[in-house]
Homo-oligomer: A and B are copies of this chain.
Amino acid sequence: MPSYKFTYFPFRGLGEPVRLLFHLADCPFKDERFSFEEWGAVKSKSPMGQLPILGVDGLEIPQSAAILRYLALKFGFAGKTPEDRAWVDAVVDRFKDFFVEFKKFLVAKRGGKSEEEVAKVVSESVVPAMESYFKLLNGLLERSKSGFLIGNSITYADLVVVNNLETLRNFGFLNASEQPKLTALLEKVYSQPGIKEYVSSRTASDF
């Protein structure tokens, strides 16, 4: 087996789905977590000047979705057919479209903007983006026989979506009574062997 090292910041963010995937696949990896200071010192030597980075026997692969797809294909969590794999990719890309809008909220919140300014970002960017994104996810889950987003088993699309749903829940954008299907997906993914133990022992982070 190759020697894997996964480098990201010490919070969930865009890197956590990779950690979840390693735990789901029961595959050992070095879970390296950099503070912003530590990252600043090595950033210029990294492939794209960005985290996360996956190390595979010394080769470095950047970009969270590329890392996830690479590992999920190896571990068997990328979808069972070429068409399922394309839809898994499409859901992850669609999440990224949503995240472009949601990130404006995180930036406003963490940038110390006034409550009024944050509320403006929520109503103008987050709420409309969330409406169409949730509609898609609910549609997929309505047609799903497995309870997962695509096909008959868990894929890395479920990990990406659920990790963000937890963030949305932490900030009050998701509650079980309004979104029972999405909440059920979150609980289903978090109860998978490997993921369950990891989630119950990890350090909590808002995002």
Contact = CB atoms under 8 A, between A and B. Distances in A.
Interface of A: 47-50, 56, 59, 61-67, 69-70, 73-74, 82-83, 85-87, 89-90, 93-94, 96-97, 100, 132, 136
Question: What is the total number of copies of this protein in its complex?
Answer: 2
A62 B83 contact: no
Query: Counting chain B CB atoms within 10 Å of each CB, which of A66, A89, A90, A97 scores highest?
Result: A90
Contact of A89 (B47, B50, B69, B82): B69
Contacts of A61: 83, 86-87, 90
Contact of A66 (B74, B90, B100): B90
Contact of A93 (B56, B65, B87, B97): B65
B63 A94 contact: yes
Given A49-B132, A66-B93, A59 B74 contact: no
Nearest to A65: B93
Contacts of A90: 47-48, 61-63, 66-67
A68 to B, nearest CB: 9
A120 to B, nearest CB: 18
B94 A65 contact: no
Nearest to A135: B49
Given A70-B86, A74-B82, A89-B70, A94 B136 contact: no
Contact of A67 (B59, B63, B86, B136): B86
B59 A83 contact: yes
Contact of A62 (B66, B85, B94): B94
Contacts of A50: 94, 97
A188 B70 CA distance: 28
Given A94-B48, A132-B49, A136-B48, A65 B83 contact: no
Contacts of A73: 82
